Structure 1
Amino acid sequence: MYRFLLSRQWVITTIVALALIPVMIKLGFWQLHRHESRVARNDRIGHSLAATPVPVSELTRPGRPVPGEDVWRRVTASGTYDTKGEVVVRMRTDDEGKPGYWVLTPLVLDDGKAVLVNRGWIPANGAQTQFPDVPAAPSGKVTITGRLKADEQPGEGVKDTKGLPPRQIMLINSERQAAQLHRPLLGGYVELAEAVGKDQPQTVAPPDHSSIGPHMAYAIQWWLFSAFVPVGWFILVRRERRDRAAAASAEASETETASAEAAEAGTHA
């Protein structure tokens, strides 16, 4: 009854079904790992944002990448802004998606080192070939509170484009800026949490660490798909067997009818 399973068509169908099951299971675990990674990231960000601020010099040094566990940590820094070393970061948007710039200003600390400070966002209202009008940084000594971020690298959502207008950059990288400023810069940069003074750039909103994304739902979907494969294969086999049985029965009935008609015709003859 099931000899048709040995046909070329059904052998290929069975092999494909058997191959799909482990692939779908693996894809489900891949999505599960992404879910777990997202949850761990959210927990790390939430812990960092809720922690008591510490001096930025305790977490980073010149030429040293910011460790992953210290990204988003709340930090403080005291010093004076070096407006001569100020630049703007192109192609950055505000919370509503409007195009503009980030204002990046070095803050010179008491020990002579400096740290890059993202003072916030300003709109791109003028020609992008010229340095935009930037709200003046507070003068004198200031104390800031912000979030520590790692240096940006080409390929992280931004392009490393050369030939830009003066004092404009595409990504924030402390080592590159240190070469321009001829001053030691702490690794990474500080994203200002609260503006110091009036008429300052719009501060960047903290990261959303409440959403876990759809990865768990995708994992469950892949596992359900893997369970449906043998069920679907069984249904197709039963349907094929039923159709073949019906065809065989119809053929037998036609043969029997033809034989009966032939016998009747012979009798009359």
Structure 2
Amino acid sequence: MYRFVLTRQWVCLTLIALVLIPAMIKLGFWQFHRHEHRVAQNELIAANLTAKPAPVTEVTSPGHQVPRSDFWRTVTATGTYDTAHEVVVRMRTSADDKVGFHVVTPLVLADGRVVLVNRGWVPGGDDPRAYPPVPAAPSGEVTVTGRLKADETSGGSGIKDRKGLPDRQVMLINSAQQAEYLGRPVLGGYLELDGPAPSGGSPEAIPDPDHDSIGPHMAYAVQWWLFAAAVPVGWLVLVRREKREREEEAAAGEPGSGAEREPATA
């Protein structure tokens, strides 16, 4: 009574099931690996944010590519802001998703080298091509604390590095580009300002990166694996239903009971 599984319709249904099972299992592991990556990243962020601050010159240097293990590492820098070469980064959002600019001001260290400091977010003015209103950076020597970030690239950020922008406007925060603009050696990466906030006002601070949420990836992984387990169960249910219906047709002597028919559906 199970010879019907060799018919064309049942062979096609079985092949589809055999393809779906490994595909769903693979999708489940893909989501599981995304979960593991998110957990590891959260642990890295938490550890680097709470680590003892290190002088930025001990962590990076001109031309240095900041490794992932140093992302969000708390660093300090002492120097003087070069406001004449300050730039703003276009199309950046605030904590409440308003579009504006990030303000990047070079901080000149005692040895003449420079570290880029992202001082925070400001809204755009009436003219999107004009330099926006920016609170002035503190004058004189300052010591700042912030989170170390890697240079932004189009490949890593997905942001197109557009040319022909208005004066002192950029799309990416990149130490190599700013070294050409400044004519000085610039430390690799940049510092995302964490403190102290000047008393006379400052750009809106960039919030700490999220390191509490783990996302829904584990739940999605379990769902895919449950779907994979449900496929053979569903196949067996359909086979048993088909067998039962064929037996009932044969017992009733219905014509055409031995003919090829479509598989039963749930």
TM (norm. structure 1) is 0.92
Distance in 1 (alpha carbons) for counterparts of 2:93 and 2:254 = 76
Paired residues for 1:75-90 under 5 Å: 75-90=75-90
- In structure 2, the gaps of 5 or more residues are 256-266
1:54 aligns with 2:50: no
Q: Which amino acid aligns with 2:219?
A: A
> What's the counterpart of residue 174 of structure 1?
175
Paired residues for 1:132-171 under 5 Å: 132-155=132-155, 156-171=157-172
> What's the counterpart of residue 253 of structure 2?
251
> What's the counterpart of residue 111 of structure 1?
111
Distance in 2 (alpha carbons) for counterparts of 1:126 and 1:177 = 27
Q: How many angstroms does 1:84 deviate by?
A: 1.2
Distance in 1 (alpha carbons) for counterparts of 2:152 and 2:15 = 47
Q: How many angstroms does 1:102 deviate by?
A: 0.6
Paired residues for 1:87-106 under 5 Å: 87-106=87-106
Q: Please list the CA deviations of residues 64-89 of structure 1 after superposition, one character each: whole Å capped at 9, or x if unmatched.
A: 11111011000000000001110000
1:130 aligns with 2:124: no
Q: Which amino acid aligns with 2:163?
A: K
Distance in 2 (alpha carbons) for counterparts of 1:88 and 1:250 = 83
Distance in 2 (alpha carbons) for counterparts of 1:250 and 1:76 = 87
Q: How many angstroms does 1:96 deviate by?
A: 0.5
Q: How many angstroms does 1:199 deviate by?
A: 1.1
1:228 match: secondary structure: helix
> What's the counterpart of residue 204 of structure 1?
206
Distance in 2 (alpha carbons) for counterparts of 1:173 and 1:54 = 21
Q: Please list the CA deviations of residues 183-241 of structure 1 after superposition, one character each: whole Å capped at 9, or x if unmatched.
A: 10000000001223421111100101000011100110011011101100000101111
In angstroms, what is the RMSD of aligned CA positions? 1.4
Q: Which of 209, 213, 216 is 2:215 aligned to? A: 213
Query: Structure 1 residues 197, 113: CA separation in 2 closer, same or farther (over 3 Å shift)?
Result: farther
> What's the counterpart of residue 258 of structure 2?
none
Q: Please list the CA deviations of residues 122-148 of structure 1 after superposition, one character each: whole Å capped at 9, or x if unmatched.
A: 111320111112111110000000000
Please tell me whether the aligned partners of residues 146 and 191 of structure 1 are also in contact (alpha carbons under 8 angstroms): yes
Distance in 2 (alpha carbons) for counterparts of 1:76 and 1:198 = 21
Please tell me whether the aligned partners of residues 104 and 119 of structure 1 are also in contact (alpha carbons under 8 angstroms): yes
Q: Which amino acid aligns with 1:191?
A: E
> What's the counterpart of residue 236 of structure 2?
234
Q: How many angstroms does 1:252 deviate by?
A: 5.2
2:163 match: secondary structure: coil
- In structure 1, the gaps of 5 or more residues are 254-269
Distance in 2 (alpha carbons) for counterparts of 1:128 and 1:57 = 36
Q: How many angstroms does 1:247 deviate by?
A: 2.1
Please tell me whether the aligned partners of residues 138 and 197 of structure 1 are also in contact (alpha carbons under 8 angstroms): no
- Identity over aligned residues, as a percent? 62
Q: Please list the CA deviations of residues 233-254 of structure 1 after superposition, one character each: whole Å capped at 9, or x if unmatched.
A: 000101111122222222259x
Distance in 1 (alpha carbons) for counterparts of 2:214 and 2:32 = 11
**Higher-Rg member (1/2):** 1
TM (norm. structure 2) is 0.93
Q: How many residues align?
A: 254
Q: Please list the CA deviations of residues 145-164 of structure 1 after superposition, one character each: whole Å capped at 9, or x if unmatched.
A: 00000011114142211111
1:105 match: secondary structure: strand
Q: Which has the higher helix share?
A: 1
